[in-house]
Chains A and B, each alone.
Chain A
Amino acid sequence: MDEPLHGSGHTRIRGPQPLAAGLGLVGLGLLGVWAGSDLPQGSMRAMGPGFLPRWLSVGITLCGLALAASGLLRDGQRLPSIALRGPAVVMLAILAFALTIRPVAVGPLTTPGLGLIVAGPLAILLAGYASPEARFRELVILALFLTAGCMLLFGDLLNLPIPIFPAFVLEALSGSVSPRLLLRAVAAGLGLTGLGLLAIGRGTRRRAVDVVPHSITT
């Protein structure tokens, strides 16, 4: 590719990627300066809380300016192509997990706390569709196994403070079944269902499941 380096009059931006990156940094730096503007600067002898943030933001702005200038003056890379599907779907999955794991107040509404048993499979099924190769059956099986495994690992074995079941289920069952027993029973149920689905899949479409074990996206 020959570059008309000294041609005058052309308005082509020579390094769009550094220019954009630089402008982004300038924006961030200015945001930092603004956000820290109400903090006292203090003196050299007793630095105030605003001292470091201000100078860091100024530094970031300067880096951004230099980068943007290099984008204008030197040939650089083109703007990167940014995928939409992957990030959007993954964000959706994370959001779904965060909103269902425990009651969360979103404005006037409060989401029901459904626990890992709902949040986990929901996140996996949603996240799976971030890849264009998603297959529903496969994801269901994965969700069953993973949820069972995570329940046992995090809830039972490690005893981490993570809600497993919806609060109303626990309330309804309070006294009759111990939560730990319930956890193990449900995990076993999930695992068995997963195994069942796997077995059915093997029986009907034996080869179809792993057609492309080697040409896999990474």
Chain B
Amino acid sequence: MTKVRFLRATALEELRANIRINLGAYRTGSFSEVSADSSYWFEHDIEFDEGALAALQPPVDGKFFEVENCAIVYRALSELSPYEARDERLWVYLSHTVLLQHARARWPIPADDDAATKHVAKHFFARDKRQVERDNVGSRLWWMAHLCARISSMDHEQALRAFLFRSDVRANLVERPTTSQCSDLFGAIVRKLATSLDGEKQLFQRSMFRRLMTEINSVGGYKLLDCLPYTQLEGILDEIIVNRLQLKSL
């Protein structure tokens, strides 16, 4: 196990400012000075499994192994708290060192230098919330895994498979922070998605899922869903699916 490192702020800003100059390194070189020179980073007490992180599965024939890679990253960084996981300095260090090779494979860098500069800024850095949750090569995997890990009594990989099956469904859930923050409600929705994934996948139709979320918002408009026990939340979802969406099967 290795201690987690965070880039110092000055080193982070220098890397960000020099993306274009360093395109050769992003494409085929390395950033060995980042790990070798201790003036670039400071260490945290928490440890991670560097070997596991270096073994992320690259894409093969259009398959991205998102579920597997989310699980790998989450296990490798099991000591990370959400507090640390929100820190750009951590993810930029990892994306320039142990995740560099995977970043090239998962997010191939365009040949055009202008496009490449924007691409690197998006996937190797994590300046704002959306980048942390959606774009950075490492942080997006950790956060998707973390959202699913909060669901009690559900197999983590089963939850990930349902959550990640359709990007529109995932975006709809993640971009409604009050729904995704409430782990019981999030869990109840993901369980229904898992049932639908094993069935007719009706809930994964874009219009159907959006209607489901609209109806949940409607109920949440006069009831504080945070206060309801899990069984009642499931009952609310069942009522919406049967009576309002009029689905006989999922």
Whether chain B is bound by chain A comes out as no
